[in-house]
Amino acid sequence: MESDHVAERTVPRMLMGSAERFGDRLAVIDGETRFTFRELLDAAMEVARGAIALGIERGDRVSVWAPNSHRWIIVSLGLHCAGATVVPINTRYRGREAREILARVRAKAVFVDGGFLGYDYAGAVRDPGEDGEGLEGVDASLTDLVVVDMLAGAAAGDPRLLGWDDFLARAKEVSAEAARDAAMAVQPADLADVIFTSGTTGRAKGVTLPHGPSLDLYATYGRIWGLRPGDRYLVTLPFFHTGGNKAGMITSLMHGLTIVPMAVFDPVEAMRLVESYEVSVMNGPPTIYYSLMESAERESYDLGSLRVAATGAAVVPVALVERARSELPFEHFITAYGMTECFGTATMCRMGDSADVIAGTNGRALPGIELRVVDSEGQDLPSGEPGEVLIRAATITPGYWEDPQATAEAIDADGWLHSGDIGTLDADGNLKITDRLKDLFFVGGFNVSPAEVEQVLARHPAVAEVAVVGVPDQRLGEVPKAYIVPRRGAEATAEEIIAWARERVANFKVPRTVELVSTLPRNASGKVLKGDLRGPAARRATA
């Protein structure tokens, strides 16, 4: 099978190879909807024909703004078969955030969910004023964008708004041969995805991910993890994230697993799915395992089919790993480490690793990946000494979308990706992430840029100064907290500011708490000392 994976270094060829190998095995279970591998290929090729009929060509960018579902899977696969580069959009984003990304990549089309969590995605894309804030020069550039509502049957009137049935009707305009030719023309070096991730500058950066290296990485990942054809994989991480997309969907298709997608994680629903479909594989941030273990209904469900699991975050609580290994029935529970810029995975534990290695480290580098831990001068540090983690491999992004400056800042001239994370390497090459060099923090597995949230809060009429930090949260790992110096004579409650933010940014970026303070702690050069805000000095700032 390894040679098959090596030959299938594009998503279309991988999908065709898996359809041939796994045939009538189930590829997807989504409620009452089922696809075998052959049926999934047929559905993806129908989407490819529809995309080609819309004028989408090799290299064009097309977005998907929707929760995990069978349609997300067939749409993304079909777009790849048409030669398009898929640009997923975070489902928690609001219209302003989504429109900016669509404009930056000059998307030709966007596939949306009709109303996930009560939010009108189609309206948010089409109406610049839907969230009360237009974007100068951006909204006008989206006038020709085609919006396909994956849940609407048909949409009358505007030819730029299509329902799912409208879209599939267009597929009849393109022959199966033309779609296959487009799929076979995709090359390993072509961009499969542009996945946007928050940065410390406050502006999301588009990480470019080519087909070939991504498939190489997750062929290896699946073998090391011990995945087997016929395993059933509950994909709780969102498909707009490398964890759900690459480590979840793509890995499953390569290795003959059945994908069981979850649109929104709920521990009771997750346990119901595990029992109903005999799920054997899970992956996700520490919070999902906490949720399962803390659920009052855990004893009501048979979770005995669970076999392998993985978790990852910048810092994974050792206590979580120890507890999950003892309280949940996994034979193989591992930790891993990565970031979007290295296609989502750089290190992972192996079968046979000791409990101490699995609980206390993020494992070793995958084959072909080099790791260094360096000091502030870029000099290698000895085993056990903490420093910044550097990564070099064929699975490092070629760069950020149309942002050479940010690329040069992240990847040096020798090809080393500067992760911004602090860690140590032991004598066996096991990496342990201990801290973050940057202010970026993670809420339930999602990156949050304090600078981005600060920019939004600073626009509130009552705000003079603001600093946002991540503070510990038992369920989500960290949550945002804002310290605000009010404008002179202005009045606003913490609740009002939180409500104001909720209308303007994704919910995971909204501060859970706001403290009004007279000053912010600063160093001699005027820089806010965020470390003080996270610790005991936070109380002194409010005095």
CATH (one of 3.40.50.1470, 3.40.50.12780, 1.10.274.30, 2.40.10.340) for 265-436 = 3.40.50.12780
Q: How far is CA 327 from CA 58, 234, 311, in A?
A: 48, 19, 15
C-alpha closest to that of 83 among 37, 43, 52, 44:
52
Q: What dotted CATH number matches 36-206?
A: 3.40.50.12780
How many other β-carbons are positioned within 10 Å of the β-carbon of residue 23?
13
Rounded CA gap, 467 and 316, in Å? 25
C-alpha closest to that of 446 among 219, 260, 288:
288
Strands 146-149 vs 109-112: parallel, antiparallel or unpaired:
parallel
Strands 258-261 vs 232-235: parallel, antiparallel or unpaired:
parallel
Rounded CA gap, 449 and 505, in Å? 12
Rounded CA gap, 337 and 141, in Å? 38
The pLDDT assigned to 137 comes to 63
- The single residue listed with the structure tokens 């903490």 is 386
Confirm if 101 and 87 have CB atoms less than 8 A apart. yes
**3-class secondary-structure state, position 203:** coil
The pLDDT assigned to 132 comes to 52
Q: Which two tokens stand for residue 348?
A: 């992972």
**Low-confidence stretches of the chain (pLDDT beneath 70):** 1-7, 128-138, 156-157, 198-202, 313-317, 435-439, 522-527, 536-543
Strand partners, 196: 206
CATH 3.40.50.12780 residue ranges of the chain are 36-206, 265-436
Rounded CA gap, 301 and 288, in Å? 16
The pLDDT assigned to 312 comes to 79
One-letter amino acid for residue 379 of the chain: Q
Rounded CA gap, 149 and 248, in Å? 24
Confirm if 454 and 474 have CB atoms less than 8 A apart. no
Rounded CA gap, 526 and 491, in Å? 26
At the topology level of CATH, where does 441-541 sit? GMP Synthetase; Chain A, domain 3 (3.30.300)
Confirm if 248 and 282 have CB atoms less than 8 A apart. no
What pTM value is reported for the model?
0.83
pLDDT tens profile 376-423: 899 999 999 989 999 999 999 999 999 999 999 999 999 999 999 888
How many other β-carbons are positioned within 10 Å of the β-carbon of residue 131?
17
The pLDDT assigned to 537 comes to 39
The DSSP element (H or E) to which 480 belongs, if any, is: strand 477-486
The pLDDT assigned to 5 comes to 52
The pLDDT assigned to 463 comes to 87
Rounded CA gap, 160 and 111, in Å? 12
Rounded CA gap, 323 and 1, in Å? 35
The pLDDT assigned to 130 comes to 52
